[in-house]
Amino acid sequence: MFASIRRHQKWLWFIIIAVIILSFVVFFSPTARYGSGREDSDMDLGTVDGQPIERRQFLETYRESLLSYLFRFGEWPTKDAMSRQNDYDAEKETRNRLLLLKRVADLGIRVNDEGAAKWIADSPVFKDRQTGLFKQESCDMFIKGKLAEGGLTDLDFYRFARNESAIQHLVEVISAGAKLISTKESEALYRQENELASVSFVHFATSNHTASVSITPEEIGKFYTNRMSLYRNPDRVQVSYVRFMATNHTAEAEKLMAGDTNLSQQLDQVYLQRGVNFFVGPDGKPLPAQAAKEKIREEIKSEFALRAARKAAAAFADELFAMTPVVSDNLEKLAAAKKVLPGETAPFDRFQGPSEFRVMELFNETAFKLSAEEPFSVPLPDQDSVFIIALKRKIPSDVPALDTIRQRVTTDYTQSKAKESARKEGEAFAQAATNTLAQGKSFAEAATAAKLAVKSPSAFSKTTRSLSDLDSNVDLQSLKAAAFKLQPGGVSGYMTTSDGGFVVHLRALAPADDAVMKTDLPKFTQNLQQRRQIQAFNDWFIKERELAKIEPPAAKKSVK
């Protein structure tokens, strides 16, 4: 591969740079893999309904899947964010969305510009919190800020809005029958979900047991040995790098702009395309035309500077790949000759990436593909710079020696033992409380006998979302789950929480208030219809996925 690259001279670097830059449309993008210059027909992106997925279609839908994630969770799907959302798989979501959009087309559902605008206006993201009305400034700031942060454009957003509206119509069509709910059924479900539970509980905090944990070298050693797999370090890699920052090329950018005789006309055109209200000042009011155009000029200057940085990186890479023999140290040698300051990362794993700076996923993927035979990367674009990296060393997965992580192991041991102690105390109390109530005594008397504090928060229903008088160390959802499994007068077993656990006593269940139900029932019925529609649509989509036989690229198919 490297010999082939060296044969193709400088022109190849500019093709590679152009391909990578064109694919840098989102900070977390598959285009690093699919953004080649090949025609759609030459690329294997999988199939939907047996038909191959086109590259342009895939990339546009991928961007929409990122926007879908953003609107659901309020953040872009970084590695950390996705781990918090059950290992969200953006490429899988893209193929799901491709199927939905195909079914939209199959049913002849079409949404015009007015429909897309209505979807945007109805989105809670862009509504004023006080009035509940659409706020244009919020939408403009979203396009200007959040979209730009993710590397997407207003065209991506408008296409997403149109397709989201179409998918909503699809949901309505598929799940129309689920809206048929009788008044009697709705009332029964309302009563069930709005019974008020009055409870008392005792919390068993892990922290109350840490001081009593006995720590000996023998126990720590045994604990470490039994859990060595939990302390294993993942594969890591360390790289050296040169970084071509756009900010180092502002003078060059100014010079290029000075030679552009059409710059003024371009500024006017961009200003008119974005609209006079696009740029706002600190007071939230639109900036004067000249001030807005100055901001546009700064954006153009930044782009010119980034282009210059890419060009410098390409020239550096061309010389680097011409050096023989091919060894990792060539990067630092060339950097010294060119008076470019090299850097070196600390070892990092595939998922966390370098601790020194935040980079695209492409940086991490490339670093782990480097080898002694191919120690250099092609120029790797970032938001404001371009990297070229070289392999320093690969560090295989290992288990650190106990002495190097003794404090961590000791802390884990203490927490484990304290949690076990809290559990034993909680289980003993649950049994004692059950026996005490069987004798006609109260839950409070059982707690007093055990020298434990009882807490009695406000009554709650299955639909209660928060309780102001509930301690933060007990999760309301866990408390509800335990309480509504009991009959009045019953005591739960020991319920584990993140910092210990609790035992709950259901004192009473009060029926839903008829007067309140009369007022709330229309809204409740509407929400019930929506829930059933979602369930009906999900059931339909699962079947459609099976029928469509969505296939990933051949290289990703499971080998049986």
Q: Are 216 and 268 in contact (CB under 8 A)?
A: no
Please report where in the chains the tokens 């470490």 appear, as a residue. Answer: 224
Task: Output the CA–CA distances (angstroms, integers) from residue 517 to 188, 416, 509, 521, in the order listed.
Answer: 11, 47, 16, 5
Helix (H) or strand (E) holding 502: strand 500-510
| pLDDT (tens digit per residue) in 29-80 | 444 444 433 444 455 677 888 888 888 898 899 999 999 998 988 888 865 5
pLDDT of residue 281: 75
DSSP codes, 180-200: ---HHHHHHHHHHHTPEEEEE
How large is the average pLDDT for residues 100-128?
90
d(CA 530, CA 514): 23
| pLDDT (tens digit per residue) in 257-301 | 888 788 888 888 888 877 777 777 777 778 888 888 888 888 888
Please report where in the chains the tokens 């003078």 appear, as a residue. Answer: 251
DSSP codes, 273-334: HH-TTSSB-TTSSBPPHHHHHHHHHHHHHHHHHHHHHHHHHHHHHHHHHH-SS--TTHHHHH
Query: Which is it for strands 385-395 and 500-510: parallel, antiparallel or unpaired?
Result: unpaired
Q: Are 57 and 34 in contact (CB under 8 A)?
A: no
* Degrees, nearest 5: CA angle 385-386-390: 135
pLDDT of residue 324: 92
Strand, helix or coil for residue 497: strand
312 CB neighbour count, 10 Å cutoff: 20
How large is the average pLDDT for residues 323-330?
94
Q: How buried is 548 (Cβ within 10 angstroms: 0-12 exposed, 13-18 middle, 19+ buried)?
A: buried
Region(s) of the chain under CATH 1.10.4030: 38-174
pLDDT of residue 483: 96
- For residues 256 and 16, the model is more confident at 256
- For residues 466 and 384, the model is more confident at 466
**Beta carbons within 8 Å of 507's beta carbon, 6+ residues apart:** 198, 199, 200, 443, 456, 488, 489
Residue 24 has pLDDT above 80, yes or no: no
d(CA 382, CA 310): 10
**Nearest CA among 486, 517, 523 for reference residue 504:** 486
d(CA 288, CA 294): 10
Q: Are 422 and 204 in contact (CB under 8 A)?
A: yes
pLDDT of residue 377: 93
Give the fold, CATH level 3, of 38-174: Triger factor/SurA peptide-binding fold (1.10.4030)
The model's pTM: 0.62
d(CA 364, CA 351): 8
Strand, helix or coil for residue 402: helix
Please report where in the chains the tokens 């999900």 appear, as a residue. Answer: 538
d(CA 428, CA 420): 12
DSSP codes, 328-363: TTHHHHHHHHHT--EEEPPPEETTT--SSS---HHH
| Phi, psi (rounded to 5 degrees) for 246 | -60, -35
Q: Are 505 and 457 in contact (CB under 8 A)?
A: no
Which range is least confidently modeled, 107-121, 315-329, 425-439?
Answer: 107-121
| pLDDT (tens digit per residue) in 400-412 | 999 999 999 999 9
pLDDT of residue 165: 94
DSSP 102: H
pLDDT band of 85, cuts 50, 70, 90: low
**Nearest CA among 476, 471, 513 for reference residue 495:** 476
d(CA 494, CA 169): 47
pLDDT of residue 154: 85
| pLDDT (tens digit per residue) in 468-497 | 999 888 899 999 999 999 999 999 999 999
CA pseudo-torsion sign 135, 138, 141, 142 = negative
d(CA 72, CA 90): 13
pLDDT of residue 15: 34
168 sits in the region (left: phi over 0; alpha: psi -120 to 50; else beta) called: alpha
pLDDT of residue 159: 92
**Beta carbons within 8 Å of 32's beta carbon, 6+ residues apart:** 20, 23, 360, 361, 362, 365
- For residues 138 and 205, the model is more confident at 205
Q: Look up residue 327 and give its two tokens.
A: 């060894």
pLDDT band of 560, cuts 50, 70, 90: very low
Task: Output the CA–CA distances (angstroms, integers) from residue 218 to 225, 359, 399, 410, 416, in the order listed.
Answer: 11, 43, 19, 11, 16
Which range is least confidently modeled, 9-23, 374-388, 513-527, 531-545?
Answer: 9-23
Residue type at position 115: G
Q: Look up residue 312 and give its two tokens.
A: 């410098």
Residue 385 has pLDDT above 70, yes or no: yes
pLDDT of residue 51: 85
| pLDDT (tens digit per residue) in 134-179 | 888 888 888 878 887 777 888 889 999 999 999 999 999 999 888 8
3-class secondary structure per residue, 153-171: CHHHHHHHHHHHHHHHHHH
Average pLDDT score, the chain: 85
| pLDDT (tens digit per residue) in 438-471 | 999 999 999 999 999 999 999 999 999 999 999 8
